[in-house]
Copies of this chain bind each other. A is one copy, B any other.
Amino acid sequence: MERAIDTQLEELKKTILLMGGHVEKSLMLVTTALLAKDITMFGEVHEIEKRINEDHVLVDSMCMNVIAKQGPVAKDLRLILSVIKINNDLERMGDQAVNISYSGKDYLGRKPIVSQLGDIEKMSEIAGRMVKGSLDCFVRGDTEQAKKILMMDDEIDALKAKVFLDATAHMKLHPEDVEAGLDLILIARNLERLGDHATNIAEDVIFAITGRDVRHGGKFG
């Protein structure tokens, strides 16, 4: 027999997935804009952020309603608490995409440092896979995939370190490019943070399913 709470939890999942879809689109747009040197696309990122912010408020209020009306315990409660955190992470990801759009717009207004965009593209591609992957494992309740997300974060961190080093070396040799180098560093940092948030989501999924808190070096599997 279906419980009333199941319908509400399904609604909650659907809403968070829609929100995640907005975040994915936002990340995709901001990177495409940067690589295609199409400043107009940055405006779309801001439009999507508004929707992400609306989702953010909506999801919190849905969670509060389910808790107040259904008095969930155990696995149901863990799922809702995870959604509250995932909601938070997705909203921050939306902010990161907007930050990238600002730095990206600045960067495109300057003399480009062409050699660097390859790494930014790779980082963005990994971040996109992490966002999508973390939401997939949330929907499917797949802790194995969640563990893979945690490992992808290392790749993105390594690329960020590379962008930092390369950009710094370039800035020292070409001080006239200091602003452009700084834009790239900030973009790389935002992409790294996007990856961190996807990692948080993966950790929350593991908690929702297994009840184990794997944050801060908690053991898993």
A197 and B217 CA atoms in complex are apart in Å by 23
Whole-angstrom distance from the CB of A49 to the nearest CB of chain B? Answer: 9
Report A's interface with B, CB cutoff 8 A: 53-54, 56-57, 60-61, 63-64, 67-68, 71-74, 77-78, 81, 84-85, 88, 168, 171-173, 175-176, 178-179, 182, 185, 189, 213, 215-216, 218
In the complex, besides A172-B176, A172-B178, 17 extra interface pairs with C-beta distance below 8 angstroms are A53-B215, A54-B216, A56-B216, A57-B218, A64-B81, A67-B77, A67-B81, A68-B74, A71-B71, A84-B84, A168-B178, A168-B179, A168-B182, A173-B175, A175-B175, A182-B185, A189-B189
Whole-angstrom distance from the CB of A170 to the nearest CB of chain B? Answer: 9
Q: Give the number of copies in the complex.
A: 2
**Interface residues of A: mostly helix, strand, loop or mixed?**
helix
Knowing A171-B175, A171-B178, A185-B182 are in contact, say whether A81-B56 is a contact too (CB < 8 A): no
Q: Which 5 A-B pairs have the closest CB atoms?
A: A53-B216, A175-B175, A71-B71, A68-B73, A171-B178
Query: Across the interface, which residues of B come within 8 angstroms of A74, CB to CB?
Result: 68
